[in-house]
Amino acid sequence: MSLKAYKNVFDSLYASLCLFANSYVKDIDIAKDLVQDVFIKVWEDQIQFNNEAAIKSYLYTAVKNRSLDFLKSSRFKATDLMSVVELDTLNKESFYLKEVVIEEASTKIEEAINTLPCKCAQIMRLSIKEFTNVEIANQLAISVNTVKAQKKIAYKRLRPLLKDYYIYIAFVFESYN
C-alpha cells in the first residue's frame, strides 16, 4: 500500500475505529493506542488489500482482536476486574457486528449532516442527542419555529443521501432504545 493510500485509509477510518475500540475497552485513550498499534502493524507488515471492503473488514477485526487481547492482558486485569461473563459478551460475533454497523451508520449520518448548512447541521446533531425542539432553540438562541423549519429542510436533504443506509440507521436507533 502506498503512503498516500495508507494515509487515506487512516484519515477515513481512524475516528470510527477508535470509537469501535472504545466500545470494548471503555477508555478512549487506550482505544486510540490500540487503533494506532493496528495501523502500525499494517504499515510495517505492508499488508495489501484488494478493495475498500477488505480493508474495513481487516481493520475492524484487527481492532476487535487487539481490544480483546488488551482486556485479557495482565496489565488490564491488575487494574480492572472485568467478569468472565462480560468478556465473553464482548467476544461474541453479535457484539462485534452490532458495533461495526453502529460505527458505519454513524459515519454515514455524520457525512450526510456535514453537507447541510451550519445551523441546520447543529440542529440535527442536537436532535440526534435527543434534545427537544425547545432545548435546541434555547441552546442556539433561536425560535422553536426556526428549529422546526430547519429540521424540515434537513430531513428533506438527508432522506435522499441516506436512503441506501436506511436499514443500518434503523438498526442503530433501535439498538439505543
Its pTM surpasses 0.95: no
Domain assignment present for residue 97? The answer is no
Residue pLDDT, tens place only, 29-73: 999 999 999 999 988 888 888 887 788 888 988 998 898 888 877
Residue pLDDT, tens place only, 21-35: 988 888 899 999 999
| Domain total of the chain | 2
Rounded Cα distance between 98 and 2, Å, is 31
Three cell numbers at 86? 462480560
What is the distance of C-alpha 122 from the center of its chain?
19
Q: How many CB atoms within 10 Å of residue 83?
A: 8
The domain that holds 64 is classified in CATH as 1.10.1740
Do both 42 and 87 map to the same domain?
yes
